[in-house]
Amino acid sequence: NLTAAPGRWVYELAPGSREVRARDGDINFALAPVNAPGFLDRTLAHVTSGATLPMPGKSTAYSRMERVASVHVAAVDRDNGIIVVDINDYWLATLSAAENAGLLSFARDVMLDPVHQDFLLERMQATLNAIGSPTIATALPAVAQALGGKMKPRAGSPSPAADVLWDGQRLAVTRTGRVLPAIQQRLIQAGVDLNASQWQAWTDSLSRRLQLVWGPPGTGKSSTLRAVLLGALHEAAARGVPARILISGPTYEAIDNVLLRVAGYLSQGSLALPQVRIARLRSASRSPSPHVPPSIDVVTGTPQHKQLTTLLQGNQGLMLIGGTVHQVYRLLDCAGSPVTPLFDLIVLDEASQLDVGTSTLAIAGLADNGSVVVAGDPKQLPPIHRAQAPLGLEPYVGPVFTYLQERHQIAPAILNTNYRSNNTIVSLGQAAGYPPGLVAHSSALALDLLALPPAAPTPPANWPAHLYWTPEWATFLDPMQPCSVFVYDEGRSSQWNPFEADAVASLLWLLSGCMSSQLANELDRLGTVKARSASRYSSEDFWKFGVGVVTPHRAQQALVVSSLQRTFGLAVPPSRIRESVDTVERFQGQQRDVMIATFALGDPDAISDEDEFLLSLNRFNVMASRARAKLIILVSRQVVDHLSSDPEVLRGSALLKTFVETFCSNHRSMTLGFNAPAGFRQIDGEFRWC
């Protein structure tokens, strides 16, 4: 539902480009003519032969084309082969003038190239320079050694942000002075339903100036943080004091997951506080979200944005602001400095995905006597770095959650009830390092099959002709086997694996015909078993809630999607299938009743080249913890048996090996197969389950 806008260009995708690695809202791309190699590395003056063109700001014609032709992806419609991009407003007049003069043409035959634009370094440097090196900062010889010499940091003044970084242990035992018992009762009476560990985390978060909240998968971290925000606002309202509260994190999705529900509570019902000013910060380069009410949508650089900084600096009334760390930086910078005391409470969500340096963009907004809540899960995927951390300094450059926990020895409040998965899947988490007290709320949660999958040696009447049939496919779907794995000798595949792709299609075809829309033995919050459903999932919900397929490589993802589209045909829109098959990173934060993992690789050299990525403990943990009732893994013996020469990778690979060899302790031989272009291929392996 995009509208026309200046600089919004629409292109047809080439048939082979429909799986382009771009999604709605992506940045870090630029346009280049197909027939102009090296175009993006040249200067504007070079590609326009020195023509006189209007220049924005202080920029010159010697700017590189990777900046001048930069775009962000407004929308991708893979089904219809359409992509919409928005030209960078800053350079729009320049590009338009060049096109009108016939010096450049982006009308057809262009490529969408990924480019590297580092928005973080400049902002982080400005923030850290503003914080400086106050007297409480501690110098580490290992840092000087890693940087190759002595450091001469700029002297800094005391600040709340510096206290968080260097005096966290003191903040963790300093009380906030909030009066909470009556507020807790108000939330309970309004229907805010937390368990004992969540209420403890709520109390700790609002009572201490620095608190960590460890939320393993499915334990209701978002619900707890919503209650924290509501509690802080209602407590301030009850005492008649102002409160400026920030919810921040690495992505818009993480922010909206917490903020929007809180905004709903505050606008109506028994928890309504109409006097609260709510704002959700948005970059001007990002399209509005249909889920965000226009009344709270504040775009960076607009008069409303400037007005917001003025209101925050005035410290009057109750305010709730949501924004990514980058948008918070823009807000602080608009107020005069990257370190500006605007917030009395800062809640950082998904803090395991924020490294220490990036987190300072938000922490720098802490006001005097303010408090910080840092929530995350250190067993999920950490932020991506292009280089290894210096030896011994891992906590200092890794996730801010880990830094505060290990550097300052701050004990987190741990949420200990998993509402997502059954006991078998939850217990696998203990092998990943989750606390032993973590339990499943619905311990016997299982698939509810409305009909038994066919088990005859001949295929059912509606079986897709291109797929190999064996009654063994039904074995994978046994509700009494929450976890299963097929291990087989492969030895060849390096990026994609047609056997595993067709195996996924076979399993999902069977599930689509017999899977109930309600899992068996699921308990509500009061412990009552939910009623069974005699209805199958709708086609849309089957792919959205019922099943998910995770794979480490885009090539295997495309192959699985292709096999599924061929199997389900026109009955299922390709976009539904595509959204249910993805990499581990994209599945983080989601859940499905059934998760199937296809590792694809079998070539020993390819496995060795990618072992750090492929065998990561955190990556396997994210994959496994998406499943509610059943986890199915297809993996070659070469992946399972691989022994990395890197001790850290070897330790990380233990979770996959434990899952296959110990956790899935039952085993028998199994023969599967697939219809390859050259004819039928038999696949002998071992089926393991628990």
Q: Where are the domains of the chain?
A: 8-114, 156-384+398-417, 470-689
Residues 6+ away with beta carbon under 8 Å from 663: 428, 431, 483, 690
Amino acid letter at 164? V
Long-range own/partner contacts, residues 152-158 (CB < 8 A, 24 or more apart): 154/129, 156/130, 156/131, 156/132, 157/132, 158/134
Q: Where does the pLDDT of residue 152 fall: very low under 50, low under 70, confident under 90, or very high at 90 and above?
A: low
Is the pLDDT at 61 greater than 90, yes or no? yes
Neighbours of 28 (CB within 10 A): 17
The number of residues making up the chain comes to: 690
Q: Where does the pLDDT of residue 589 fall: very low under 50, low under 70, confident under 90, or very high at 90 and above?
A: confident
Mean pLDDT of the chain: 93
Comparing 156-384+398-417 with 470-689, is the CATH topology the same? yes
Q: What is the pLDDT of residue 105?
A: 94
Q: Hey, what are 160's tokens?
A: 């709340």
3-state SS class at 277: strand
Q: CB-side exposure of 350: number of CA atoms within 13 Å?
A: 23
Residues 6+ away with beta carbon under 8 Å from 398: 355, 356, 382, 383, 389
Residues 6+ away with beta carbon under 8 Å from 586: none
Residues 6+ away with beta carbon under 8 Å from 678: none
Query: Are 608 and 639 contacting, i.e. CB atoms less than 8 angstroms apart?
Result: no
Prediction pTM value: 0.90
Phi, psi of 240, deg, nearest 5:
70, 35
Could you read off the pLDDT of 426-469 as tens digits, one per residue? 999 988 999 989 999 999 999 999 999 998 999 999 999 999 99
Could you read off the pLDDT of 236-294 as tens digits, one per residue? 999 999 999 999 999 999 999 999 999 999 999 999 999 999 999 999 878 788 999 99
- List for the chain the helix, strand, coil content (%; round to 5): 40, 20, 40
Q: Which of 131-140, 142-151, 599-608 comes out lowest in average pLDDT?
A: 142-151
Q: What is the pLDDT of residue 150?
A: 62
Comparing C-alpha atoms, which of 343, 376, 375, 377 is closest to residue 361? 343
Percent with pLDDT over 70 in the chain: 98
Beta strands (DSSP E) in 637-676 are: 666-676
The verdict on domain 470-689 having CATH code 3.40.50 is yes
Could you read off the pLDDT of 314-356 as tens digits, one per residue? 999 999 999 999 999 999 999 999 999 999 999 999 999 999 9
Q: Looking up tokens 């078998």, which residue turns up?
A: 424
Domain 156-384+398-417: CATH class, spelled out:
alpha beta
